[in-house]
Copies of this chain bind each other. A is one copy, B any other.
Amino acid sequence: MGYISRMDASVGQLQNSMFTGLSAFPLTPLSNDEVDERAFSALVERLSAAGVDSITALGSTGSYAYLSVEERSRVARLAVKCAGETPVFIGVGALRTSQVLTNVANAEAAGAAGVLLAPMTYQALTADDVVALFRTVTERSSLPVIVYDNPITTHFTFTNDLYARIAEMPGIASIKIPGIQADPEMTMSRIQKIRSVIPDHVSIGISGDAMAAEGLNAGCDAWYSVIGGTLPQQALRIVRPALAGSAADARAESARLAPLWALFAEFGGSLRVVAAIAEYLGLAPKNCLPLPIQGLDSIQRLRVAQVIDELQLAH
């Protein structure tokens, strides 16, 4: 796009430049309840070719919570193999600490450049439980860790104080924060508050695709992106201007995708919609999500196809 990234231009204090820019979250498509390795490999190759800054495999969009230890290990290896020079981060979250450590070891063996760790819950966790989890993982592994704050899926709520306690651990490279539903000023104030309590070398990445442009404009270093995993060119058209300081361009490109964000809101989140997009574009087999998640019905899929066509998102 010809934009110079804000990173190169001014944010020299960020040591973990790997944890900035667009991190694309590919689906892990299933076919008859098995990982469709061909479809997954093609998705990862597509992301690398598009020039995303990193690939996070086995994020929430990559259905990590539904896959076995063995499936996750295999997917991690495939991701690293197909990503070429693009750094690969691997989601390692699990309900039990020992399972997390197994996933971390497998990600390390696969050649991952970092891991993404969400405090999954079944029984509610305390802040001290979560601190101990991150301490255990950072002490046992030399891989950089992205703190994954996703209250919608984990039902765990981080406070700024907890961000601070975890971010000071050696090994913490980035925090993936949830989308901020507010105006630009409130977004800016929220990001500044987080920034003020964590070390400079820890990057802040926005998620919640509809809020990404404002998050980046407000000072986030990265976008951990759902659509980036399936429509990388579209995501780059938001992240490149934002990080180069062209806030208006990023905002305009995000506004152009408003019909897509509306579908995310209407259809209960991004996952089912992005799976339907990938299926519509021939990037994933039909019904690629793990049951019991049934995916969108045929009428919803028609609406998705309409938006894809009208916004020319296939290109």
With both beta carbons as reference points, the residue of chain B lying nearest to A34 in the complex is identified as B98
Which B residues are CB-close (under 8 A) to A109?
Answer: none
Q: Is A123 an interface residue (CB 8 A)?
A: yes
Asked if residues A292 and B119 are in contact (CB atoms below 8 Å), the reply is yes
Q: Is A271 an interface residue (CB 8 A)?
A: yes
Q: Is A126 an interface residue (CB 8 A)?
A: yes
- How far, in Å, is A192 (CB) from chain B's closest CB? 30
Q: How far is the CA of A129 from the CA of B290 in the complex (A)?
A: 11
Asked if residues B120 and A122 are in contact (CB atoms below 8 Å), the reply is yes
**What is the predominant secondary structure among interface residues of chain A facing chain B?**
loop
Knowing A66-B96, A96-B66, A155-B155, the reply to whether A126 touches B268 (Cβ < 8 A) is yes
Q: How far is the CA of A291 from the CA of B65 in the complex (A)?
A: 17
Q: Mark A133-153, 1 if CB is under 8 A from B, else 0.
A: 100100000000000000011
Q: Is A314 an interface residue (CB 8 A)?
A: no
Partner of A98, one of B130, B269, B291: B291
| Interface magnitude class on chain A | 35 or more
Which B residues are CB-close (under 8 A) to A133?
Answer: 291-292
With both beta carbons as reference points, the residue of chain B lying nearest to A124 in the complex is identified as B268
Q: Is A95 an interface residue (CB 8 A)?
A: yes
Q: Mark A83-112, 1 if CB is under 8 A from B, else 0.
A: 000000000000111110000000000000
Knowing A129-B294, A132-B291, the reply to whether A60 touches B122 (Cβ < 8 A) is yes
Q: How far is the CA of A66 from the CA of B152 in the complex (A)?
A: 20
Q: Is A309 an interface residue (CB 8 A)?
A: no
- How far, in Å, is A88 (CB) from chain B's closest CB? 22
Q: Is A161 an interface residue (CB 8 A)?
A: no
Q: How far is the CA of A98 from the CA of B293 in the complex (A)?
A: 12
Knowing that A68-B99, A95-B290 are A-B contacts, what are 11 other residue pairs whose CB atoms are under 8 Å apart, sorted by A's residue number? A33-B96, A65-B95, A66-B95, A66-B96, A67-B96, A97-B290, A97-B292, A98-B291, A123-B269, A125-B293, A132-B292
Give me 13 A-to-B residue pairs in the complex whose CB atoms sit less than 8 angstroms apart, sorted by A's number: A33-B96, A33-B98, A65-B122, A65-B123, A66-B95, A123-B153, A123-B271, A123-B293, A124-B152, A128-B294, A129-B294, A133-B292, A136-B291
